[in-house]
Amino acid sequence: MLTYAIWNNKGGTGKTSLTFQSVCRYSELNPDKKVLVIDICPQANLSEILLGGQENNGSNNLLNRQGLTPRCSIGGYFDARLAAPFTSANFTASDYITTPYIHNSTIPKNIDLICGDPLLELQAMAMNTLANVDLPGVNAWLGVIDWLRDLLSQLNEKYDLVFIDTNPSFSMYTQIALAASDRVILPVMADDSSRRAIQNAFSLIYGLKLPSQVYSKYTFATKLNAASRSLPKIHLILKNRLTQYMGPASAYNAVLSGIDTDLNNLISNYPHHFTFSNINNGVVDVRDFQTTGVVAFARGCPFSRMPTGKLTISGHRVQVKPEYRDNALEAIDNIVSNF
């Protein structure tokens, strides 16, 4: 079972929409593979989309899953762990799994979901407290950081790939997601803040280029290495929302070239943190999906199954041109070819 985390500590990079389209497309092209999606974001946008989107009752479907006993979400699982934080035997993983196809027939049947939950923000405070408890003979931080690994250990034989959609933060639940992952997919935009976000990602995950060595003993990497745990590797950089008509040759080119320069330096100095040795093998350009993306998001519909022409969204008629839909699908296929 191979686990991908889609993460950037900067918001607004299109992480959730890219995850939705990529997971659906991969699952459609690989019907023999069983795929698990874990939404470890308190906004739970990915869950709502998979369960139907705003146009097809996705919000109510999500609320119904969260209203079950036990709560059928990542929040429900963390509730179970809060009661017994340092033991892993008192839960059943299948209690927290939803099959989106039952609620949204456009989703491939081979996808399962662990829904997101707004409880995560409240639970993060409890997690932090538990992780800092001083108990004889117990590594409390590792006990909490392994919660998702414990869940996946029950599911190892059931799924081929796991995709974890994360929050744009480095909160405790994000660290739990990254600690359970083999690979990281990092979406970025063509702006200076995304360039800084790549540098920040390497500081947060790998403890590199810290402002002061006083922080080194507290880093995520230091704690995982001390427990002889592997760190996830950077697998893809998605340059998202490039201008629709100009592409990377537009006015954003200077920023994009700067991102490439930074990545080349990181690969040269820290090759063990990457699954690729050349940026041409690890960077995918993704043009702006524009109206096509908005409609797909609202309808909870993969590009490959989305109709074109005039469609109704929130009572308004919008036009989805076939060539735009096909261009969007081609961009997703470029991502999926790297899984």
> Residue 253, exposed/middle/buried by CB under 10 A (0-12, 13-18, 19+)?
middle
Rounded Cα–Cα distance for residues 270 and 285 (Å): 23
pTM of the full structure:
0.92
Question: For residue 120, what pLDDT is reported?
Answer: 95
Structure tokens at 229: 């745990």
Q: Tens of pLDDT along 34-90? A: 999 999 999 999 999 999 998 889 999 999 999 999 999 999 999 999 988 988 778
Question: For residue 311, what pLDDT is reported?
Answer: 74
- In this prediction, residue 184 has a pLDDT band, given cuts at 50, 70 and 90, of very high
CB 161, CB 33: distance < 8 Å: yes
Question: For residue 130, what pLDDT is reported?
Answer: 93
Q: Tens of pLDDT along 251-260? A: 566 667 778 8
What domains can you pick out in the chain, each with its CATH number?
A: 2-336 (3.40.50.300)
Mean pLDDT score, 219-232? 91
Question: For residue 193, what pLDDT is reported?
Answer: 72
Question: For residue 241, what pLDDT is reported?
Answer: 66
CB 260, CB 300: distance < 8 Å: no
Res 103 pLDDT > 60: yes
Closest CA to 220 of 210, 100, 134, 27: 210
Res 326 pLDDT > 80: yes
Rounded Cα–Cα distance for residues 175 and 232 (Å): 11
Question: For residue 114, what pLDDT is reported?
Answer: 98
CB 204, CB 171: distance < 8 Å: no
Res 225 pLDDT > 60: yes
Closest CA to 157 of 8, 50, 1, 321: 1
For 72, the 3-state DSSP assignment is coil
Closest CA to 172 of 204, 199, 195: 204
Question: For residue 290, what pLDDT is reported?
Answer: 80
- For the chain, percent of residues with pLDDT exceeding 90: 56
- In this prediction, residue 244 has a pLDDT band, given cuts at 50, 70 and 90, of very low
Q: Tens of pLDDT along 302-322? A: 999 988 887 777 677 777 778
Question: For residue 126, what pLDDT is reported?
Answer: 94
Q: 322 vs 193, which has greater pLDDT?
A: 322
Q: Tens of pLDDT along 263-312? A: 899 999 999 999 999 988 999 988 888 888 888 888 899 999 988 887 77
Name 287's Cβ contacts closer than 8 Å, sequence gap at least 6: 241, 242, 243, 244, 247, 327, 328, 331
Mean pLDDT score, 207-224? 78
CB 70, CB 95: distance < 8 Å: yes
Q: 31 vs 295, which has greater pLDDT?
A: 31
